[in-house]
């Protein structure tokens, strides 16, 4: 199926590495101007430079998405420079794993702020302008852990579950303005985030995946790209698991 993208501008957070990088590349490949955001300027700049070298339109900006004031400043700057942001993909995320007894307040706060509050910070500044334009796409990268829970990840699972409530509520608030809001719940995807997982644990996870392979960043990027296209205009408030069949 051919996907249609008009002259759009997309903000992709977490675009410096892993899943977000691949999403930025896929969406840029459709002719969309992409703003690549990550914590580290070198990472998002390298991604944007590669996209431009391949003939796409991309810029980079280092923004700490867990910092409400930094997001406000960046969002206002983007609106001034590009006049509108049509697509937001919230992909920036971190883990700070530990069992409840050993989890510090800081482990809790930083994971909630980076994964969940960041979605709210961007939305506060960028979704009303989308509504005025009568077109918008928000895609939030949650996790299967937000659906199932996971021992040792109370902070991360709470943030990822929160993103699902956020997605459905925002979808209801803005559906009448043709702004769609969806979430993707990836399973186990091969990136830096999962590279530290112990071999024995990885073997155990693999056994729980009916399709018997670890997911690739492109598996997620394809789904995100579709949800951002014109063709996905009748889909909102949904959570799509892309996990090789782990959650059925
Ligand atoms: P990576 O660790 O490979 O990349 C994370 C990205 O998020 C990096 O670009 C990083 O920036 C950025 N980031 C982290 N914190 C901040 C911050 N405070 N401000 C701005 N940017 C930030 O992760 P993945 O690609 O694996 O994961 C991407 C998303 O997918 C995450 O939300 C994760 O929770 C989710 N996910 C991942 C799964 C997996 O198996 N990999 C499974 C389910 C969900 P920088 O490059 O500058 O460090």
> 10-residue block means of pLDDT along the chain (248 residues)?
94 98 98 98 98 98 98 98 97 98 98 99 98 98 98 98 99 98 98 93 94 97 98 98 97
Candidate list 82, 156, 188, 234, residue with the active-site label: 156
Q: How far is Cα 111 from Cα 154, in angstroms, rounded to an integer?
A: 10
Q: How far is Cα 53 from Cα 97, in angstroms, rounded to an integer?
A: 38
Q: What b/e string do you get for 29-60 counting C-beta neighbours within 10 Å, with b at 16 or more?
A: bbebbbbbbbbeeebbbbbbebbeeeebebbb
Closest among 139, 113, 156 to 26, alpha carbons compared: 139
| Per-residue model confidence (pLDDT) at position 14 | 98
Q: How far apart are the first and last CA of the chain?
A: 26
Number of the ligand 1 atom closest to the C-alpha atom of 13: 21
| Per-residue model confidence (pLDDT) at position 119 | 99
Q: Which one of 11, 14, 192 would you pick to mutate in the ligand 1 pocket, going by the greatest count of ligand atoms within 8 A of its CB? A: 14
Tokens, residue 146: 């937000």
Tokens, residue 80: 């001034």
| Per-residue model confidence (pLDDT) at position 1 | 82
156 is catalytic: yes
Q: What b/e string do you get for 173-210 counting C-beta neighbours within 10 Å, with b at 16 or more?
A: ebeebebbbbbbbbbbbbbeebeeeeeeeeeeeeeebe
Q: Look at ligand 1, atom 12, and give the residue with the nearest C-alpha.
A: 14
Q: How far is Cα 31 from Cα 4, in angstroms, rounded to an integer?
A: 10
Q: How far is Cα 43 from Cα 26, in angstroms, rounded to an integer?
A: 17
Could you give the dihedral angle defined by the CA atoms of residues 134, 162, 117 and 183, in that order, rounded to the nearest 10 degrees?
A: -40
Q: What b/e string do you get for 103-134 counting C-beta neighbours within 10 Å, with b at 16 or more?
A: beeebbebbbbbbbbbbbbbbebbbeebeeee
| Per-residue model confidence (pLDDT) at position 33 | 98
| Per-residue model confidence (pLDDT) at position 34 | 98
The residue behind tokens 């990885």 is 202
Could you give the dihedral angle defined by the CA atoms of residues 65, 169, 83 and 223, in that order, rounded to the nearest 10 degrees?
A: 80
| Per-residue model confidence (pLDDT) at position 203 | 93
Q: Which one of 20, 150, 187, 218 would you pick to mutate in the ligand 1 pocket, going by the greatest count of ligand atoms within 8 A of its CB? A: 20
Residues 6+ apart with CB under 8 A from 200: none
């Amino acid at each position: 199926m051919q996907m249609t993208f008009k002259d759009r501008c997309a903000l992709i957070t977490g675009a410096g590495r892993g899943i977000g990088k691949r999403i930025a590349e896929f969406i840029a490949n459709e002719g969309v101007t992409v703003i690549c955001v990550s914590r580290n300027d070198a990472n998002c700049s390298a991604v944007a430079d590669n996209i431009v070298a391949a003939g796409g339109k991309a810029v980079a900006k280092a923004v700490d998405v867990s910092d409400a004031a930094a997001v406000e400043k960046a969002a206002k700057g983007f609106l001034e420079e590009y006049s509108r942001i049509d697509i937001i993909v919230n992909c920036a995320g971190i883990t700070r794993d530990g069992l409840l007894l050993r989890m510090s307040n800081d482990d809790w706060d930083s994971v909630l702020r980076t994964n969940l509050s960041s979605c709210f910070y961007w939305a506060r500044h960028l979704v009303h302008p989308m509504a005025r334009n009568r077109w918008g796409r928000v895609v939030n990268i949650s996790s299967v852990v937000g659906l199932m829970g996971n021992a040792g990840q109370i902070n991360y699972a709470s943030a990822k579950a929160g993103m699902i409530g956020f997605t459905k509520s925002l979808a209801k608030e803005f559906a009448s303005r043709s702004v769609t809001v969806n979430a993707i719940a990836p399973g186990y995807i091969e990136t830096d985030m999962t590279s530290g997982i112990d071999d024995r644990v990885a073997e155990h996870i693999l056994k729980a995946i009916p399709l018997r392979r670890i997911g690739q960043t492109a598996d997620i990027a394809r789904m995100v790209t579709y949800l951002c296209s014109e063709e996905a205009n009748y889909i909102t408030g949904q959570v799509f698991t892309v996990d090789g069949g782990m959650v059925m």
